[in-house]
Structure 1
Amino acid sequence: MIRRALTLLLTALVLGTAAAPAQAATYRYWSFWDRDGSKWTYATVGPSVSVPSDGDVQGFRFTVSEDSAQAAQPRGEQTFGTICARTPERDGQKRVALVLDFGTAKDAPSGETPPRLRTVCAQVPEDATTAEALAEVAKPLRYDSSAMLCAIEGYPSAGCGEELSKGRDKGKDTDKSQSKSTNDSDNSPSLGLWAGAAGVAALGAAALWQSRRRRND
């Protein structure tokens, strides 16, 4: 009878855990993109490591998403020829076309209005990184202690890769004021699952104690 009760309890705990899927976290951040012809692809390295070539088009988009696969791409179809049309070639330097998309009002932090999308041609030394090109034309920039890009031209004025949670009342994302860089490693097991396992162990110990007591009687 005790063994049957333990089996039923364990089954209920497993089913209860499976019935409560974890809600994926979303983040508000600046995403970084490379342009290949007419197609945007999410950059595989950060702007401080990326070294674009003369004639490249790169973009930044302020967005809210779970991961890079769901991040919104920079808008517009401007080409290098259009963006850098008024910037003549210069020896020892390269031209990098940058698309700065500050996102939509929906993705903006509370109380802030995103600037309009703009394009700019950065003329920098041949070995310059994307971050250096960006600093040439879009100051002030803001980074966090882990070198994550937090703001372009001062937008947003605060925050950096905040983790957001879904508001139950209004259906809006609410800021949890936590950095993305500190939350990526927080993949600990569910507290409810741990508590359930502990409950089974405790109940099993009690059953064992009761069984031994009966034998002694």
Structure 2
Amino acid sequence: MRRATLAGAALLAGTVTGLATGPAQAQEYRYWSVWEGKGSSWTYATEGPGTLRPADGAVTGFRFTVGADSAAAGKPRTAPGFDAICRATPAKEGRKRIGVVVDFGTAADAPGGERPPASRTECAQVSEDASAGEALAAVARPLRYDASALLCAVAGYPKAGCAERVNGSKGAGSAASPAPGAAADGGDDGGPSTGLFGGIAVLVVLGAAAGWQLRRRRG
């Protein structure tokens, strides 16, 4: 009887703990992500297109994607090769050249009723202090921003909406677009969930009950 009690408590505790610590599905958004070319790979930009100021010879990427945070965001599918993008654009005094890669994403990521255009690469020749947004505007108009200066559309895609939630996503997680790392709906701040604390509490109670049963039978 004692062994059965202990085994049952351990089994129930393990089940509850496993359920409590299971990862929550984060809320996903459909949005334009911004990237910086680093050699032959891409790095998620820590600034928006309005404040990011690439140097002459840099490559900036824009990818329409669906994700919950920067780790899940789709990268541009074209390599950031400046020489390949800007070889036909000669250097000019007082101007800088920035390679621009625009990836409109996949059909699966497209809003309902829209089809993503083909990806494109352009060489933007802009003023020396120009931002990534100005370089993008030089080669992929029209652009659309919201009131918070969030990039909503490139070359008119998508036609409407801005960083919208993707239907079917559950839970509260990190929004990848307007404010990376911010809690969706002001709910989850990234700390341990109440479910986790509840699972630990149940584990403690079950352990105490098993110990009491053991002491009672010894007595």
Could you tell me the TM-score, scaled by structure 2's length? 0.70
Aligned counterpart in structure 1 of residue 28 of structure 2, from 26, 40, 48: 26
**Where do 5+ consecutive residues of structure 1 fail to align?**
1-14, 168-172, 174-178, 194-217
The answer on whether the counterparts of 1:160 and 1:180 sit within 8 Å (CA) in structure 2 is no
Give the direction of change, closer, same or farther, for the CA distance of 1:165–1:37 in structure 2 (3 Å limit): same
Instruction: Give the structure 1 partner of residue 50 of structure 2.
Output: 48
2:53 corresponds to which letter in structure 1? V
Match of 1:58 in 2: 60
| 2:154 equivalent in structure 1 | 152
Q: 1:143 to 1:184 in 2, by over 3 A?
A: farther
Q: Deviations over 1:85-121 (max 9, x none)?
A: 1111110000000000000100000000100000000
Shift of 1:23: 3.0
SS at match of 1:135: helix
Q: Which residue of 2 aligns with 1:5?
A: none
Q: How far apart are 1:137 and its partner, in Å?
A: 1.1
Following TM superposition, where does structure 1 have runs of at least 4 consecutive aligned residues deviating by more than 6 angstroms?
Answer: none
Q: Distance in 1 between matches of 2:27 and 2:81?
A: 34
For residues 100 and 52 of structure 1, the distance between their equivalents in structure 2, rounded to whole angstroms, comes to: 16
How many angstroms apart in 2 are the aligned matches of 1:148 and 1:124? 21
User: Where does residue 136 of structure 1 map in the other structure?
Assistant: 138
Partners of 2:102 and 2:25 lie apart in 1 by: 31
Tell me the distance in 2 between the aligned counterparts of 1:77 and 1:188: 37
Over residues 58-106 of structure 1, what are the superposed CA-to-partner deviations in whole Å (9 max), with x where a residue is unaligned?
1000000111011111012251111111111110000000000000100
Q: Which runs of 5+ in 2 are unaligned?
A: 1-15, 171-175, 189-193, 195-219
Match of 1:166 in 2: 168
Preserved contact between residue 39 and residue 80 of structure 2 (Cα < 8 Å): no
Distance change >3 Å, CA 184–CA 90, structure 1 → 2: same
Corresponding position of 1:125:
127
Quickly say closer, same or farther: Cα 1:78–1:21, change in 2 above 3 A.
Answer: closer
RMSD: 2.9
CA contact (8 A) 1:100 1:118 kept: yes
Counterparts of 1:36 and 1:180, CA distance in 2: 21
2:62 is paired with a residue whose SS is: strand
Q: Once the 2 structures are TM-superposed, how far is the Cα of residue 184 of structure 1 from its aligned partner?
A: 3.9
Larger proportion of strand: 1
Return closer, same or farther for 1:126/1:188 CA change in 2, 3 Å cut-off: same
Residue identity matched to 1:91: E
Encode CA deviations 1:36-56: one digit per residue, 9 max, x unaligned. Answer: 111100001111001111100
* Residue in structure 1 matched with residue 73 of structure 2 by the alignment: 71
Q: Does 1:99 align with 2:101?
A: yes
Inter-partner Cα distance in structure 1 for 2:54 and 2:178: 25
Distance in structure 2 (CA, Å) of the matches to 1:73 and 1:58: 11
Amino acid at match of 2:59: V
Secondary structure of 2:56's match?
coil
Q: Does 1:108 align with 2:110?
A: yes
TM-score (structure 1 length as normaliser): 0.70
Which amino acid in the other structure matches residue 80 of structure 1? F
